[in-house]
């Protein structure tokens, strides 16, 4: 869920902060180290809670990334938990960072929630990472980075204010548009884990025979498309399953007019998605 050269890249370059050196989940550990450097590790600037498996900053003024300006400038809570939550929508990734916002329009009255329960149900149907607390009048977004959380919170605000319908299509469109606007057509998001899925929690690309070729996003322009998988799904599919997935992916790419890496019909063409079958 991101080189902050933009948020998606920096996790591979930063050292682990001493306050999270004991954490068990590498991706959460690396991202917490980034935020400790960015928002403080001493509690002086923000009211900060340092738990054994969580770090939380309160009343946070978000600092823009090089390639992204936050739309929700101030949030009530920002926290990272030492966890590794697999999330498959709108693309496979890992969740561990949370952004919480109090929303005036849904504040409780007389001890009762005021948000439309149908809307809460729609949010639940969109993604498992929108958490609504009607009595506190707040919404929490959980993803793999604060940028994706910002997009999620804006989606929630727009839905509450009647600007958009709370649908999977609308939400997926926003998240994928964000990732593609940051470059590399999602490949940098998938590489957040490090040196590849089987070695450091990132993603690897596979050939049409199911063989691992290297890190996701490492193919050259003009090559036949490989397909990327997390370590968990690669293991679950097995070699034959990986080969079948890659061949389905290539067929879908060819149908979309994008048979080879770098061969998109038009600039900004959306990534072709194919279910892994895992």
- The domain segmentation of the chain, as residue ranges, is 10-184, 202-278
Q: List, as own/partner pairs, every contact residues 127-133 make where C-beta atoms lie below 8 angstroms and the sequence separation is at least 24, other chains included.
A: 127/87, 127/89, 127/152, 127/168, 127/171, 128/87, 129/1, 129/87, 129/95, 130/156, 132/106
Residues whose CB falls within 8 Å of the CB of residue 159, separated by 6 or more in sequence, listed in order: 119, 122, 123, 165, 166
Instruction: Please provide residue 119's backbone torsions phi and psi, each rounded to the nearest 5 degrees.
Output: -70, -40
Lowest mean pLDDT among 25-34, 44-53, 190-199, 219-228: 190-199
Residue whose structure tokens are 């959980």: 142
Q: How many other CB atoms are found less than 10 A from the CB of residue 52?
A: 7
List Cα–Cα distances, 24 to 7, 28, 52, 192, 199, in angstroms: 22, 9, 11, 16, 15
What is the C-alpha to C-alpha distance for residues 192 and 9, in angstroms, rounded to an integer?
7
What's the pLDDT score for residue 53?
Answer: 97
**How confident is the model over 142-165, as a mean pLDDT?**
95
pLDDT above 90: percentage of residues in the chain: 49
Lowest mean pLDDT among 8-17, 33-42, 92-101: 8-17
Note if the pTM is more than 0.85: no
Confidence of residue 196 (pLDDT cuts 50, 70, 90): very low
Cβ atoms of 182 and 6 closer than 8 Å: yes
What is the C-alpha to C-alpha distance for residues 166 and 169, in angstroms, rounded to an integer?
9
What's the pLDDT score for residue 73?
Answer: 95
Q: How many other CB atoms are found less than 10 A from the CB of residue 12?
A: 16
Instruction: Please provide residue 84's backbone torsions phi and psi, each rounded to the nearest 5 degrees.
Output: -145, 90
Greater model confidence, 148 or 229: 148
What's the pLDDT score for residue 237?
Answer: 85
Confidence of residue 91 (pLDDT cuts 50, 70, 90): confident
């Amino acid at each position: 869920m991101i080189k902050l050269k933009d948020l998606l890249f920096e996790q591979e370059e930063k050292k682990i902060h001493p306050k999270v050196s004991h954490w068990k989940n590498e991706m959460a550990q690396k991202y917490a180290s980034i935020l400790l450097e960015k928002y403080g590790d001493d509690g002086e600037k923000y009211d900060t809670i340092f738990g054994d498996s969580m770090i939380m900053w309160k009343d946070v003024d978000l600092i823009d990334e090089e390639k992204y300006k936050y739309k929700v400038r101030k949030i009530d809570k920002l926290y990272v938990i030492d966890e590794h939550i697999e999330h498959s929508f709108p693309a496979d990734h890992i969740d561990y960072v949370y952004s919480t916002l109090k929303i005036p329009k849904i504040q409780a009255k007389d001890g009762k929630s005021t948000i439309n329960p149908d809307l809460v149900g729609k949010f639940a149907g969109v993604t498992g990472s929108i958490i609504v607390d009607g009595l506190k009048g707040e919404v929490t977004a959980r993803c793999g980075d604060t940028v994706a959380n910002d997009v999620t919170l804006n989606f929630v605000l727009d839905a509450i204010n009647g600007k958009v319908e709370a649908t999977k299509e609308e939400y997926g469109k926003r998240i994928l548009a964000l990732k593609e606007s940051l470059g590399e057509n999602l490949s940098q998001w998938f590489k957040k884990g490090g040196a590849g899925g089987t070695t450091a929690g990132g993603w690897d690309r596979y050939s049409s025979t199911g063989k691992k070729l290297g890190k996701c996003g490492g193919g050259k322009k003009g090559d036949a498309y490989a397909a990327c998988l997390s370590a968990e799904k690669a293991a679950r599919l097995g070699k034959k399953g990986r080969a079948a997935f890659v061949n389905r992916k290539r067929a879908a790419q060819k149908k979309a007019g994008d048979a080879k890496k770098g061969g998109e019909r038009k600039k900004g063409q959306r990534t072709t998605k194919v279910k892994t079958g895992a």
